[in-house]
Amino acid sequence: MLNARPLPHYLVQRYHGWRATSYAENRAWYRRLADEGQRPRAMVISCCDSRVHVTSIFGADTGEFFIHRNVANLVPPYAPDGLQHGTSAAVEYAVNTLKVAHLIVLGHSQCGGVAGCHAMCSGAAPELEEATSFVGRWMDILRPGYEQVRDLPLEEQVPALERVAVKVSLENLLTFPFVVAAVESGQLTLHGLMHDIREGELTMLDRDRYVPV
């Protein structure tokens, strides 16, 4: 039996405020999106973290980005094993159906998922090693990245692993045959970004190094 409850009052108020202002001022655009479908120019894979506000960072309009969020902005390797793969399904839809021109992996500072992966791999979070831990099994995607940072000074390891997470996701994207085909045909370009929450800075991968946007 479902136990769904009405929305809290503050969310109801915000909805009515949005519909009376942003929606009312752009009614024709919303109706066009409904009637003609979406045509986003880019897909963004970002973290679930509430502090990462993708559309605000880029000043994006409704319908401009196809956004998929998961813990630590990770992409698993291509694995057509019959299991449920939400991220892989989103990538497939964006590339094969929506024909996005850009696929962006957006990492960020102070990422709790990456910190959890570091704790798990360093032996500080044995609970994440349990087979029943959804977070732990998801963070297994980043486990190879831990080997790249484990010899750094301790205080540098988690920030370095946050950057490595973006690279791991980009590398895993290139295990998807349809992504490789789209990149090689010139239909699709891949991008890796890091967002510094405290400073509001954005850096991008230029080959193997991060440079300011």
Cβ atoms of residues 40 and 66 within 8 Å = yes
Query: How far apart, in whole angstroms, are the C-alpha atoms of residue 7 and residue 185?
Result: 47
What total number of domains does the chain contain? Answer: 2
Query: Do residue 130 and residue 197 come from a single domain?
Result: yes
| CATH, residue 81 | 3.40.1050.10
Residues 155 and 205 occupy one common structural domain? yes
Q: Is residue 117 marked as binding? A: no
Per the annotation, does 48 bind a ligand?
A: no
> 121 among the known binding-site residues?
no
Instruction: Tell the burial category of 185 from Cβ atoms under 10 Å away from its Cβ (0-12, 13-18, 19+).
Output: exposed
The domain of 3 spans: 1-37
The pLDDT assigned to 84 comes to 76
What predicted TM-score, i.e. pTM, was given to this entire model? 0.96
Same domain, 90 and 56: yes
Q: What is the pLDDT of residues 161-211, one digit of tens each?
A: 999 999 999 999 999 999 999 999 999 999 999 999 999 999 999 988 999
Shared domain check, 164 and 143: yes
